Structure 1
């Protein structure tokens, strides 16, 4: 089968299509025939060597949407033919979801959202779980104020929607052209990129990874949530600084699927690109102003 891999670190030109064996599910796992897979910034980081693994063949891809093709021993809740979405956690792995087939733990998948096309559904797992975990870590009561940086990005837009659902007063920080879109998602305040809120907020969810400047927007004793482990600024002024780390959680993913099905969580696709053009997709990912998830389809 075809799979997207890197053998040496660098730019999009290092992304290649390899012919590899179709994986077999072990006990507690399922094999998925990939119909669509999201391309995430973490894939660019893996490609560039941010997470190590030099000298190995590394498979790319975390998000997947497709149908179960085979189930391993001990899997009782899933059968072949079911449409699912899932998260393949891990930075340095021999095979990711950018392939024709992938094997995941049965606990890492959820039924695909009904009424949503496969390409759109493929953008949910990593971004959705990251946004949901981040909003939970804010720990703020309804009515509290929160600023979401990078709000027009895939994770940021989902975080805006989930924070609004949690009853928080959301201000979105993004480019000027994104204001109308973010207000349509429920943000009641808007700050242009490069500026700050008029008054300190109770919490910041920093999907843009601004670090120290974003911490400066938080009131004394407030909360800062970072989305990349190890990238948060040092705590100051009694601010609680926490970082989310995403996990493959099928039960939590199923709750997000329910929101998508109900029309309460909108997903955004920027472009659908054929798997064999994965290098082109990585080029596109690096283009400023991309709005929505880039999706690869085998």
Structure 2
């Protein structure tokens, strides 16, 4: 089968599409025939060596939508099931940017019924990150929340999920994105003019760090999206950062919200698997709204 990998670190040109063996599922695993797989910033980080792994051939891709093709023992999934899944891991021999991928059965959820595979592939990593970050914040509806990077994939899901919970969301994004983030459910918008200590909580999807921490009121809460990279606590503000986990049951809840029209799946463009390097180059240009998706 074909798979996108990196054997040496660098820019988009470092991405190779190679021939490799089809992986076999073990106990409590399933093999998915990939219909679509989103490209995320974490893939660019893996490609450029941010997470290490020098000297290894590293597979790319975390998100997948497709069809169960084979199963190991002790799994409730059947061949032919249409599914989505998160294949967690930054340094792995194969990822979801391939024709087939093996994942743990507990990472899998039934695919949305209301959208195709290309859109479904944009859900797992970013929506799970958003909902797990909101869990970390632990907000009740009367609390105020600022979401930075609200027009991005994680930020956009965070806005929709928080608004669905009845939380008053202020979206921080570029001025040109105001209509977009308001359509996602933001009650308020700012392009950067934020008073210090003015929100009960900040979900920092834009990775602004200390600058965003200043916008949290004394005793409030801050959640980042890069594990262990949150700023130190000040003024009694509780700080933390989500490390996304593959959670099929939680992913199934997010799929239900897609089918109910609560979550919007945004595709910025599609590329053939053989064009993986070209997709990385487009991501590196910036300004992508939604996710680029690879189709084997």
TM-score by length of 2: 0.98
**Residue pairs, 1:258-277, within 5 angstroms:** 258-277=256-275
Contact 1:191 1:197 in 2 (8 A): no
Q: Distance in 2 between matches of 1:47 and 1:215?
A: 30
Helix, strand or coil for the counterpart of 2:294? strand
- Does the 8 Å CA contact 1:220/1:239 hold for their aligned counterparts? yes
Task: Please give the residue correspondences for 1:135-214 in structure 2 after superposition, counting only pairs within 5 Å.
Answer: 135-192=134-191, 194-197=192-195, 200-214=198-212
Superposed displacement of residue 288, structure 1? 2.1
Q: Deviations over 1:119-151 (max 9, x none)?
A: 000000000100000111111211211000000
Give the conservation status (yes or no) of the 8 Å contact 2:65–2:85.
Answer: yes
Q: Distance in 2 between matches of 1:5 and 1:199?
A: 44
Rounded to whole Å, the distance in 2 between the matches of 1:199 and 1:222 is 9
What pairs with 1:195-274 in structure 2 (closer than 5 Å)? 195-197=193-195, 200-274=198-272
Offset of residue 230 of structure 1: 2.2
SS in 2 for 1:286: helix
RMSD between aligned residues: 0.9
How many residue pairs were aligned? 296
Q: Tell me how far apart the structure 1 counterparts of residues 145 and 35 of structure 2 sit (CA, whole Å).
A: 36
Post-superposition offset of 1:160: 0.2
| Alpha-carbon distance in 1 for matches of 2:218, 2:51 | 34
- Match of residue 4 from structure 1: 4
Residue 64 of structure 1 contacts residue 97 of structure 1 at CA under 8 Å; is this kept in 2? yes
Give 2:50's aligned residue.
50
Using the TM superposition, give the Cα deviation of residue 195 of structure 1 relative to its aligned residue in structure 2, in angstroms.
2.9
Shift of the alpha carbon at 1:17? Answer: 0.5
CA distance in 1, matches of 2:165, 2:240: 19
Q: What's the CA shift for 1:247?
A: 0.6
Equivalent runs, 1:42-191 vs 2, <5 Å: 42-75=42-75, 77-191=76-190
In structure 1, what is the Cα distance between the partners aligned to 2:251 and 2:289?
Answer: 22
For 2:138 and 2:100, the matched residues in 1 are separated by 38
Q: Give the unaligned 5+ runs of structure 1.
A: none
Shift of 1:82: 0.6
Q: Give the distance between the partners of 2:106 and 2:282, measured in 1 at CA.
A: 32
Instruction: Give the aligned partner of residue 15 of structure 2.
Output: 15
SS in 2 for 1:21: coil
Q: C-alpha separation between the residues in 1 aligned to 2:140 and 2:67? A: 39
Indicate the SS of the match to 2:285. coil
The 1-side partners of 2:173 and 2:264 are apart by 18
Measured in 2, the distance between the counterparts of 1:198 and 1:52 equals: 37
C-alpha distance in 1 between matches for 2:194 and 2:150: 13
Q: Does the residue aligned with 2:190 lie in a helix, a strand or coil?
A: strand
Residue number in structure 1 paired with 2:25: 25
> TM-score, normalized by length of structure 1?
0.98
Shift of 1:198: 7.7
Greater than 6 Å deviation, 4+ residue runs: none
The answer as to whether partners of 2:197 and 2:218 remain within 8 angstroms in 1 is no
Displacement after TM superposition at 1:167 (Å):
1.4
Instruction: Give the match's secondary structure for 1:17.
Output: strand
Structure 1 SS opposite 2:269: strand
Distance 1:281 1:86, change over 3 A: same
Contiguous gaps of at least 5 residues in structure 2: none
Question: Does the Cα contact within 8 Å between 1:209 and 1:231 map onto a contact in 2?
Answer: no
